[in-house]
Structure 1
Amino acid sequence: MDAKDAPRAGEVALSGATGRRVLFATVLGSSMVLLDGTAVNVALPRIGADLDSDLAGLQWAVNAYLLTLAGLILLGGSLGDRYGRRRVFVIGVLWFAVSSAMCGLAPSAPLLVGARGLQGVGGALLTPGSLAIIQAVFRPQDRAAAVGTWAGLGGVAGAVGPLLGGWLAGGPGWRWVFLINLPLAALTVLVAVRDVPENRDEAASGRFDVPGAVLAALSLCSLTYALTAATTQPFAALVTGAAAVLLGAAFVVAERRSPRPMVPLGLFKVRLFSYTNVVTVLIYGALAAVSFFLVLQLQTTAGFSPLVAGLALLPLTLLMLAFSSRAARLGKRIGPHVPLTAGPVLAAVGVLLMLRIGPDASYFADVLPAGIGLGAGMTLLVAPLTATVLDSVDVGRAGTASGINNAAARTGGLVSVAAIPSVVGLSGDEYRSPADVDAAFHGAMLTCAGLLAMAAVTAWLFVRTAAPAPETVDAVCRSCSLSAPPPAAEREKPGGGT
């Protein structure tokens, strides 16, 4: 097809060949991030054994990725708006592929951690771009269907991730959890360069909030180090903790002074927006810690293979795939107050059922019921949570609000994976001891249930609003990421723009 005959941004039909290829490229690109976010956890015990890593190394293998992803994802969206969404998306995919190769070839835990941090940068570039391309490229009448398809297939990737990670870790080896991204990235880039029309926000101007992004990343990095080293290096943890506070204060000052802040602090004057983000941090902090500790308990204490351990959270993703749209309609009908209160309570019951998982655990008697309980709670709350965030702000700031909520969830996971092992007394090489892991697992599940209970109380007391607007509910993606709420498409602005 000649360039002059190629469909332009905003004119691509979902039913056409170009539309299908655009959707294929965006789904495949974002699926790499979803797969990596869920598959790596299942491989952690094998990674630790192969690289002779202590627990802190495994924590950083998870958190280095979350750190750069959470700290830069808002900046990644802005770069796409300014310099071209396809261009930044392709750069993000290539960056993700190169850093995945570095992860797969890493000879030591420190080098793996560094590569994981670089991988998060690639994820921050490609993740916002995948949905932004759909919003900008497809015809207005096709956007809702395209977003729904993108989200549904992303949910499938989230469901497949733990199984794929378990199969690779137990078969070809954990390095293939990362190396599998290389052919996926090559195919994504090939299709994106050939078929995705370039598009950008012509109104985007002014400087990027680079100081804000740097200060946010440094503050989160210092906080993560302080929490991770709290039991093994208390003095260093104290120093870096103080540095995290100072850097966080500097970030707030920088955002107040910036003409185009990465995080507009004025949004937090909206009580509903602020409290919904508190609920988000608590819920996704608990979920990240459950995912981290569960694979250790299943493989180290219960003796499950990585593949069977990967089945543990499958009920959660399947339930979300099957019933999230119904939960969204329920939230639309009755408002978010009940779903955001009952959902964390149900999830907490599922987490408490995990206390039954021990040395002689059965998948069907002990693991499956807990996974169903956790999945039922998350299914009930995820769509109303995202819709409430969007509905708490004006239409023009919906995209920013969604991005902040997504970053808040990843930050909650980052902090919990860094802090809870210290809270329950697991450190060093103890993750290889069934008795030590079992004791820590029970403490961690009680802690996570407490976080979910705090989320339920916060929602009950402070998240009181009318049912979200129908267009807000329709914008919520039916994705099943375990690390963050589904990014939501922006609602259309008056006049039909996006």
Structure 2
Amino acid sequence: MSLFRAIAGPIAASIAFVMELTLVPLILPAIQSHYDLSLGSMAWVFNAYGIAVAVGVIAGGWIGDAFGAKRIFGIGVLMFALGAAIVASSASFEALIAGRVLQGFGGGVFSPLVPLLLTKALPLRPGKILIIWGSVTGYVAAFAPFAAGQVVAFVGWQSVFVFFVVLSGAVLLLSAGNGATQTEAAPRTTPNLFLLTKARVLWLVFGYIFCTYGAITFYLFRLPLLLAETNYTVETIGVVLATIWMSFSIVGTLLRNWVDGSHIRSIVLAAPVLIAASFLTAYLSSDAIWLMISAILIGAGFACSNAPSTQLVLKFAPPGLSVISASLDITFARLGGVVTVAWLAQSDFSHSVLVIAGLSLAAVVFAMVFLRRSSEA
């Protein structure tokens, strides 16, 4: 029972973290209507969370080492829950933003600790538990928008954040008294962060992550609002978002045996091409069939970028700096989303397609350089 709680708690927290990214885009049109917000203000609703996550990820990595991963994990989940509660009960735009910031910071604090807690719970089979973790969260994220679309249509957008509060409460109950890591703070040599400045290939990977994740995040932000403007229902928007995550999960599963070999080059280069093709498809036609094709393409591009880029970050991380490099991976992903959404939030979709094409081209260039240097090393 203790092992079950040690595994179930972090996985449930990870589900909450991932579902924030899958469900909030679904309710953006409802939030916009409820508060009568412009696209510029909606960018703040979306980006307040992303900025806070980027800061919280770095904080979570550092203080988790200093004060114990289990304790800091619990604090992060509590902040995530409190932020969601504030959003659900917010009567003003300012309260909404405050809740998003607290929720994002809490999510950033606990998210990098999830794989650490899981592998400590099952130290003899770390690969198995990480595969289970990825599979469970991926498929839950795929089905969540479809189910949530039905609930939101009848109950309201606040129900999404109430769900986050309930799920976070379950995580805290599972984690309470779970015996885990009382002796985590073994003396260690202070890592030499200066080595990061010399890891040029690593920074090229971060550039690739910034571009690809920026484009994907803008898609998740803009497409639901665009569909709402053309009178698509929240249920239909939920189906489109569910298609993205189902495509992501299926392609990720298919790639699991390829990313460790020479195929990683093709996979990494395919991601920005698929992302650009997705935007072009959505721009050419708003018919349901083309929107579904666009959703499949963006999900496939996400899968080709997500795990392979993290794998490369860990490969090129300087000795002793794997944890901070993994944290920077998440930070650059979130910052890419924040910058792209802020830049394009109020632009015509046609202009956005051109910018995304530019970001995709930049990602291809980054990939070609770091893949060439990797083969030379």
So what's the TM-score if we normalise by structure 2?
0.92
Match of 2:211 among 277, 282, 292: 282
* Structure 1 contact 328–383 (Cα < 8 Å) conserved: no
Task: State the partner residue of 2:226.
Answer: 297
Q: CA offset at residue 466 of structure 1?
A: 5.1
Task: State the partner residue of 2:279.
Answer: 351
Q: CA offset at residue 157 of structure 1?
A: 3.3
Q: CA offset at residue 57 of structure 1?
A: 2.3
Structure 1 stretches of at least 4 aligned residues deviating more than 4 Å after TM superposition: none
Match of 1:175 among 158, 163, 171: 158
Q: CA offset at residue 306 of structure 1?
A: 1.3
Task: State the partner residue of 1:252.
Answer: none
Residues 145-175 of structure 1, C-alpha deviation per residue, up to 9 Å, x if partnerless? 1111112112123323433543343220011
Match of 1:329 among 229, 236, 257: 257
* Structure 1 contact 21–191 (Cα < 8 Å) conserved: yes
After the TM superposition, which of the residue ranges 72-81 and 110-119 deviates more from structure 2? Answer: 72-81
Q: CA offset at residue 349 of structure 1?
A: 1.2
User: Number of matched residues?
Assistant: 375
Q: CA offset at residue 43 of structure 1?
A: 0.7
Greater helix fraction, Structure 1 or Structure 2: 2
Residues 182-236 of structure 1, C-alpha deviation per residue, up to 9 Å, x if partnerless? 2212211111113351345323579xxxxxxxxxxxxxxxxxxxxxxxxxxxxxx
Q: CA offset at residue 328 of structure 1?
A: 4.3
Question: For 1:410 and 1:40, how far apart are their aligned partners in 2?
Answer: 15
Q: Which amino acid aligns with 1:65?
A: Y
Question: For 2:46 and 2:135, how far apart are their aligned partners in 1?
Answer: 25
Match of 1:166 among 142, 149, 165: 149
From the superposition, tell whether residues 100 and 324 of structure 1 become closer, same or farther in structure 2 (CA, over 3 Å).
same
User: Is 1:271 matched up with 2:211?
Assistant: no
Question: For 2:308 and 2:351, how far apart are their aligned partners in 1?
Answer: 30
Q: Which runs of 5+ in 1 are unaligned?
A: 1-16, 207-258, 425-439, 468-498
Question: For 1:185 and 1:99, how far apart are their aligned partners in 2?
Answer: 11
User: Is 1:106 matched up with 2:90?
Assistant: yes
Question: For 2:227 and 2:116, how far apart are their aligned partners in 1?
Answer: 38
Residues 391-449 of structure 1, C-alpha deviation per residue, up to 9 Å, x if partnerless? 11245322221111111000100111111124x2xxxxxxxxxxxxxxx2232233223
So what's the TM-score if we normalise by structure 1?
0.71
Question: For 2:292 and 2:183, how far apart are their aligned partners in 1?
Answer: 46
After the TM superposition, which of the residue ranges 383-392 and 161-170 deviates more from structure 2? Answer: 161-170
User: Is 1:115 matched up with 2:99?
Assistant: yes
Task: State the partner residue of 1:414.
Answer: 338
From the superposition, tell whether residues 125 and 268 of structure 1 become closer, same or farther in structure 2 (CA, over 3 Å).
same
Two-structure CA RMSD over aligned residues (Å): 2.2
After the TM superposition, which of the residue ranges 141-150 and 288-297 deviates more from structure 2? Answer: 141-150
Instruction: Using the aligned pairs only, state the percent identity.
Output: 26
Match of 1:189 among 148, 165, 172: 172
From the superposition, tell whether residues 312 and 141 of structure 1 become closer, same or farther in structure 2 (CA, over 3 Å).
same
From the superposition, tell whether residues 27 and 126 of structure 1 become closer, same or farther in structure 2 (CA, over 3 Å).
same
* Structure 1 contact 294–441 (Cα < 8 Å) conserved: no
What SS does the corresponding residue of 1:201 show, helix, strand or coil?
coil
Match of 1:458 among 342, 356, 366: 366
From the superposition, tell whether residues 327 and 85 of structure 1 become closer, same or farther in structure 2 (CA, over 3 Å).
same
Question: For 2:242 and 2:174, how far apart are their aligned partners in 1?
Answer: 30
Q: Which amino acid aligns with 2:260?
A: K
Task: State the partner residue of 2:269.
Answer: 341
Q: Which amino acid aligns with 2:291?
A: V
Task: State the partner residue of 1:247.
Answer: none
From the superposition, tell whether residues 200 and 34 of structure 1 become closer, same or farther in structure 2 (CA, over 3 Å).
farther
From the superposition, tell whether residues 77 and 291 of structure 1 become closer, same or farther in structure 2 (CA, over 3 Å).
same
Question: For 1:184 and 1:385, how far apart are their aligned partners in 2?
Answer: 29
The higher relative CO (CA closer than 8 Å, separation ≥ 6) is in 2
* Structure 1 contact 163–311 (Cα < 8 Å) conserved: yes
Task: State the partner residue of 1:392.
Answer: 316
Task: State the partner residue of 1:447.
Answer: 355
Task: State the partner residue of 2:140.
Answer: 157
Question: For 1:41 and 1:204, how far apart are their aligned partners in 2?
Answer: 43
Question: For 1:306 and 1:200, how far apart are their aligned partners in 2?
Answer: 48
Q: Which amino acid aligns with 1:176?
A: S
Match of 1:366 among 259, 269, 290: 290
Task: State the partner residue of 1:380.
Answer: 304
* Structure 1 contact 73–407 (Cα < 8 Å) conserved: yes
Q: CA offset at residue 338 of structure 1?
A: 2.6
